[in-house]
Amino acid sequence: MIDCPASERRQPAPAYAAPHGFEVSAEEHALLRATPPAPALEWATAAFGSRARIESTRAMLGGTSSAVHELLVRDQSAKLHRVVLRRHVRTEWLAQEPDLAEREARTLELLQTTALPAPRLLAIDPDGSAAGAPAVLMTRLPGEIEWNPTDVTAYLDGLVELLVSVHAAIPCADTTTIPRYTPYALEMLRPPVWANDARVWLRAIDMHLGPAPAHSRVFIHRDFHPGNVLRHNGRVTGIIDWVNASVGAREADVGHCRLNLAQRCGMTVADTFLRQYQERTGTTAYHPYWDVVAALGGLDETWDANPNPIVERFLAVAVSQL
């Protein structure tokens, strides 16, 4: 979530407005940020030959779904390689989606035939038999995540251009190995206990449970937002985290990005992103359904302990447009 002009900031900034994944519990830190175990490092170095060795490891911040580390590997010719090791270590998630590593690997293979600045697949351990957990090894793209742009309009333009490129990158005929998009299921069909306006939540839940508006299907990222975009000197250099790539509505990516922007910068910036996207694509219609499914996905009882009035405001704007 980007840091927007003072006029758009919520002051004081609540804890949940921090960029997603940068604040983790001690238990999550041990699981996700600790140095990878020896079997995982041995598996990663094997991709560069029997005499390769690890020069350094660094936990990459900003994610909570998997353990992600940057490795500096020296191969047997003394050449250095900067790579990324993702390990799927959340056993409860693997129980529901055991093919997470395979899905990302398939997507990265498809992306290698496109002009998108995506990582290149180096190795995969689909079941964790070698690395200790299902793992993907990929190239490290240049650039860093940018949360504090000096020019918000130009920053959003970069997001828009990248998103348009994503949706055009792979023809649907070539996506038979990519899963179809479906909204994340609701595990709870009531407002969280801290909700100020239960009517907003109930209308949003009804919309989430209903049919999606008519839409065309394209290749989508499914987790498109500023935290998955790399930049260097203001220029987009990469888009990462392809685990959830799907075939579905363009608007699903738009809504997810709008939610992330709204949580940090407010609706004005989220609306500016939508307006710039529509100007770029020549579209005018945008159904609030896509904002609702982005904001409500995964609703369950854990939300009761995590008040988030920004999400409620986001939902209120969406249902007011019905």
How far, in Å, CA of 122 to CA of 113, rounded? 15
- Determine if the peptide bond prior to 149 is cis (ω within 30°): no
Tell me how many helices (H) and strands (E) the chain has.
10, 10
Give the CA dihedral 281, 263, 292, 270, nearest 10 degrees: -20
- Burial per residue of 244-265, b for 16 or more beta-carbon CB atoms within 10 angstroms, e otherwise: bbbbbbbbbbbbbbbbbbbbbb
SS3 category, 75: coil
How is the chain split into domains, by residue range?
A: 26-139, 144-320
* Domain 144-320, CATH: 3.90.1200.10
To which H or E segment does residue 43 belong? helix 38-46
Homologous superfamily of 26-139:
Phosphorylase Kinase; domain 1 (3.30.200.20)
The pairing of beta strand 144-145 with beta strand 229-232: antiparallel
What is the pLDDT tens value at each position of the chain, 322 positions in all?
Answer: 344 543 333 333 333 355 555 566 788 888 899 999 999 999 999 999 999 999 999 999 877 889 999 999 999 999 999 999 999 999 999 999 999 999 999 999 999 999 999 999 999 999 999 999 999 999 999 999 997 888 999 999 999 999 999 999 999 878 888 999 999 999 999 999 999 999 999 999 999 999 999 999 999 999 999 999 999 998 999 999 999 999 999 999 999 999 999 998 889 999 999 999 999 999 999 999 999 999 999 999 999 999 999 999 999 999 999 8
Task: Pull the structure tokens for residue 125.
Answer: 């351990």
Answer whether 262's CB lies under 8 Å from 314's CB.
yes
How far, in Å, CA of 215 to CA of 135, rounded? 34
